[in-house]
Amino acid sequence: MARVAFIGLGNMGGPMAGNLLKAGHDVTVFDLSAQATAALAERGASVAESALAASADKDYVISMLPAGKHVTGVYLGDEGLLAALDAHTTVLDCSTIDAGTARDVGAAAEKLGIGFMDAPVSGGVAAAAAGTLAFMCGGDPMTFEKARLILADMGKNIFHAGPAGAGQVAKGCNNMLLAIHMIGTCEALEMGARHGLDPKVLSEIMSASSGRNWSLEVYNPYPGVMDAAPASNDYQPGFMVDLMVKDLGLAMDIAESGGVANRMGQLAQALYSEHQAEGNGAMDFSSIMQRLHTR
Ligand code: NAD
């Protein structure tokens, strides 16, 4: 059993903290929302008045926050959480944020002798609840060994991508590729359907051929092909367009700072931004299919 502080109990952090309680850890939580902390208290968590109070004398501090500014605020801001931690505490930030902020917080932690790891996730709310998330970690190997012990209670695949910031880079690469193959899958299915092919049959053909990919095989965007996919449920999320647009923005920063001409990624970002601007931000990201239906 480990002593854990969990900061940020939203759609993802709430179920993740719940799984740590289920695994028998001693969990202290903090969130700006009293409703969010109350839900975890009902499941056996202790509730703290601040992130700083939650983090005193813990084996792990885990955060799941919206964006880089929140992560900077919690760890390097007024409360000075990092500076107040015991040296044996390991900090795991699971938020999806820019790689630069992850490196900055990692460097500040290193100066203080504290193990820090950026550990963004793939899998969404369902995987957070099921404890089957994939974690992409950035930090030193010793911190990774300690991190995987606790991450295993919230996820199924735990990868060490490299030093601080590398987890965020891996996440940016993955989600840019996801956006590109989702759009490509939509275009291929629509093209076949307009020529009279049954999208189910076409999906079977491409899944057994060189066009196979996750969007086609696991998360098919054509309504009616897969009963459990958001496409067959009016594109209810799932993974919202708003979050994909956020992740594509982070991916563009990664590409630019690495000097990469990512034309397909830029096009995917433009298409998802248009789709969001037309009022579809809260829909599942596979709803990009609808833009093809109407043209
Ligand atoms: P959310 O908005 O549901 O939850 C964020 C929580 O953080 C809220 O409860 C908010 O009150 C809390 N918070 C904000 N600032 C705080 C502070 N200073 N101190 C304490 N609590 C604070 O967001 P989410 O969907 O849980 O996403 C969290 C992170 O996970 C994001 O970075 C997101 O990009 C990433 N992510 C989300 C999904 C998904 O499907 N929702 C999938 C993968 C990754």
Q: Which long-range contacts (CB under 8 A, 24 or more apart) does 38-45 make?
A: 39/9, 39/14, 40/6, 40/9, 40/14, 43/18, 45/6, 45/17, 45/21
Question: Which residues of the chain fall below pLDDT 70?
Answer: 294-295
Note the pLDDT of residue 293: 75
Instruction: Write out the DSSP string of 104-158.
Output: HHHHHHHHTT-EEEE--EESHHHHHHHT-EEEEEES-HHHHHHHHHHHTTTEEEE
Ligand 1 within 6 A of CB of 222: no
Select which of 58, 171, 200, 246 is catalytic. Answer: 171
Residues 37, 46: Cα–Cα separation, whole Å: 9
Note the pLDDT of residue 295: 59
- Which of 11, 121, 242 to probe ligand 1 with, by most ligand atoms within 8 A of CB? 11
Ligand 1 within 6 A of CB of 48: no
The residue nearest atom 38 of ligand 1, judged by CA position, is 124
Q: What is the pLDDT of residues 8-36, one digit of tens each?
A: 999 999 999 999 999 999 999 999 999 99
Note the pLDDT of residue 80: 79
Nearest atom (ligand 1) to Cα of 14: 26
| ipTM score above 0.85 | yes
* 22 is a catalytic site residue: no
Asked whether 11 and 129 are in contact (CB, 8 A), the reply is no
Paired sense of beta strands 121-122 and 115-118, if any: unpaired
175: CB partners within 8 A, 6+ apart: 122, 244, 247, 248, 251
Nearest atom (ligand 1) to Cα of 65: 7
Note the pLDDT of residue 294: 67
Q: What is the pLDDT of residues 100-111, one digit of tens each?
A: 999 999 999 999
Q: What is the pLDDT of residues 113-136, one digit of tens each?
A: 999 999 999 988 889 999 999 999
Domains annotated on the chain, with CATH: 3-163 (3.40.50.720), 169-293 (1.10.1040.10)
